[in-house]
Amino acid sequence: MADDIPAADAADEAAVDPAPAPEELHGAPVSYSRGQKVLHVAREQLTDTVAKLRDDSYLQCLDVTAVDYLGYPSPRELPESITPERFELVVTLISHQLAERIRLRVQVPESDPTVDTLFTLHPGTEAMEREVFDMFGIHFTGHPDLTRVLMPEDWEGHPLRKDYAVGRIPVQFKGAPSR
Amino acid sequence: MTVIDKGISDFTSEGAQEMLPRQVAGGVEVLREVGSVLRLSEADAAVLADREDDAQTTILNMGPQHPSTHGVLRLMIELDGETVIRVKPVVGYLHTGMEKTGEELTYVQGATNNTRMDYLAPISNEMAYCLAAEKLLGVELPERAVWIRMLLAEVGRIISHVTFLATNGMDIAAISMMLYGFREREELLRFMEMVTGLRMNHNFIRVGGTAADLPDGWEARLTTILDNTERRLEEYDVLMTNQPIWQERLQGVGTITTEEALALGVTGPILRSTGYAWDLRKDMPYLAYDQVDFDVIVGQYGDCFDRYAIRLNEIRESIRICRQVMKRMPHGDYRVQDKKVTPPPRARIDESMEALIHHFKLFTEGIKVPEGEAYVGIESPRGELGCYMVSDGTGKPWRMRTRPPSYIHLQCLPHMMHRGVIADAVAVISSVDPILGEVDR
Q: Which residues, listed in sequence order, are joined to residue B79 by a DSSP beta bridge?
A: B58, B84
Dist CA B159 CA B157 (whole Å):
5
Burial of B200 from C-beta contacts in 10 A (0-12 / 13-18 / 19+): middle
The pLDDT value given to residue B23: 44
Burial A23-35 (b: 16+ CB within 10 A, else e): eebeebbbbbbbb
- The nearest CA of chain B is from the CA of A38 a distance in Å of 10
Q: Within 10 A of B382 (CB to CB), how many other CB atoms are there? A: 27
**Residues in chain B closer than 8 A to A103 (CB atoms):** 375
With a cut of 70, say whether residue B27 has pLDDT above it.
no
| pTM for the whole structure | 0.84
Query: Do B331 and B146 touch, CB atoms closer than 8 A?
Result: no
Among A55, A73, A123, beta carbon nearest to B393: A73
Dist CA B246 CA B250 (whole Å):
6
DSSP state of A113: -
- pLDDT tens-digit profile of A4-21? 444 445 445 444 555 556
Query: Do B118 and B387 touch, CB atoms closer than 8 A?
Result: no
| Residue B386 to residue A62, Cβ atoms within 8 A | yes
- pLDDT tens-digit profile of B243-279? 888 888 888 888 888 888 888 889 999 999 998 888 9
- The nearest CA of chain B is from the CA of A27 a distance in Å of 21
- pLDDT tens-digit profile of B276-308? 888 999 888 988 899 999 999 998 888 899 999
Among B266, B375, B392, beta carbon nearest to A73: B392
The pLDDT value given to residue B1: 34
DSSP state of B240: I
| Residue A123 to residue B39, Cβ atoms within 8 A | no
The pLDDT value given to residue A178: 63
Q: Which residues, listed in sequence order, are joined to residue A61 by a DSSP beta bridge?
A: A93
Q: Which residue of B has its CA nearest to A159?
A: B100
Among B42, B372, B393, beta carbon nearest to A34: B372
- The nearest CA of chain B is from the CA of A123 a distance in Å of 6
| Nearest to A143, CA basis, from A166, A169, A114, A165 | A114
| Averaged pLDDT, B349-360 | 87
Q: Is B287 on the interface with A (CB under 8 A)?
A: yes
- Average pLDDT of chain A? 82
Beta strand B372-380 pairing with A114-116: unpaired
Dist CA B110 CA B208 (whole Å):
13
Query: Do B275 and B302 touch, CB atoms closer than 8 A?
Result: yes
The pLDDT value given to residue B324: 92
| Residue A62 to residue B267, Cβ atoms within 8 A | yes
Looking at A62-66, A172-176, B403-407, which range is the least confident one?
Answer: A172-176
Q: Is A29 on the interface with B (CB under 8 A)?
A: no
* Helix ranges, B14-142 (H): 26-36, 42-50, 98-104, 107-114, 122-137
Which run of H or E residues covers position B190?
Answer: helix B175-196
Dist CA B200 CA B189 (whole Å):
7
Number of H helices, E strands in chain B: 19, 8
ipTM: 0.81
| Residue B441 to residue A150, Cβ atoms within 8 A | yes
The pLDDT value given to residue B8: 40
Query: Do B269 and B276 touch, CB atoms closer than 8 A?
Result: no
Task: Please report which confidence band the pLDDT of residue A179 belongs to, taking 50, 70 and 90 as the band edges.
Answer: low
| Averaged pLDDT, A89-113 | 91
| Residue A77 to residue B371, Cβ atoms within 8 A | yes
Cα A6 off chain centre by: 23
**Residues in chain B closer than 8 A to A86 (CB atoms):** none
Q: Within 10 A of B332 (CB to CB), how many other CB atoms are there? A: 10
Dist CA A132 CA A146 (whole Å):
10
